[in-house]
Each structure stands twice: as structure tokens, then as C-alpha cells.
Amino acid sequence: DVKVTQSSRYLVKRTGEKVFLECVQDMDHENMFWYRQDPGLGLRLIYFSYDVKMKEKGDIPEGYSVSREKKERFSLILESASTNQTSMYLCASTWELDRGVTDTQYFGPGTRLTVL
């Protein structure tokens, strides 16, 4: 069974703090993703990575950065947390079927981040 784990289920941080969210997958997937999910807006892609040390911006990268030093681990960093980054953060991973074509996304349980 594919397993995607995230470092925290719930997190409360203060404005201006640096926040690290970690995601680990155990299936040797090439691709990993970070989304945020807000009511009425659905899942929005923040960043994704198709290989170690490779990353590409998604639809809403502002205020975020990522790191992928090892294939199984993909970190999302909020350099200076703000209240509008309060959200549910979801990590996902997939195999690559062909160049640029991915398979089913396997999601982690999510991290509910509150920025005060």
C-alpha cells in the first residue's frame, strides 16, 4: 500500500514565523506535489517536483518555497507566515507514466495550519 505521510496534522504558528511542512512517500514516486485547500476554492497547486532537486511553480507559489533533497521527501516552507496562509495543506505523490504524464495522485492526510 502506498503511504504518504505529513509531519503534522495540526499546526498553529504566529505571523512572521518560518514554517516547515514535511511530506514523505514510501513508493519511490518520481513526482511530488503541494496543494492548499480552501472552502469554495478547491485544491490549488503551490509547487511540484518531478525529480530530486527539481521543482516547478504551481498556480499559487507566492510566499512559499520547497525543497527536495531526497526522492522520498518534499518539504514546503513558508518563509514568513501570514494569516492568509491559514489553510489545509495537502501533499501528494505519483509515478510518472510518460514524460509529463502522471498517474493517480496519492495524498497525505493533510496539515491544518493556522497562522495567528
Partner 1 sequence: SQKIEQNSEALNIQEGKTATLTCNYTNYSPAYLQWYRQDPGRGPVFLLLIRENEKEKRKERLKVTFDTTLKQSLFHITASQPADSATYLCALPTTSGTYKYIFGTGTRLKVLA
Question: Does 78 sit near partner 1 (CB under 8 A)?
Answer: no
- Please count the residues of this chain forming the interface with partner 1, following the rule CB under 8 A: 30
Our finding on whether 56 is near partner 1 (CB under 8 A) is: yes
| Residue placing its CB nearer to partner 1 in the complex, 3 or 18 | 3
| Spatial CB neighbours of 51, under 8 Å, sequence gap ≥ 6 | 30, 68, 71
Cβ-proximal residues to 28 (8 Å cutoff; 6+ apart), any chain? 71, 72
Is there binding between residue 69 and partner 1 (CB under 8 A)?
A: no
Neighbours of 110 (CB within 10 A): 18
Q: Do residues 87 and 11 touch, judged by C-beta distance below 8 A? A: no
* Binding flag, residue 40, partner 1 (CB under 8 A): yes
Binding site for partner 1 (CB under 8 A): 4, 31, 33, 35, 40-43, 45, 48, 50, 56, 58, 88, 90, 92, 94, 96, 99-102, 104-110, 112
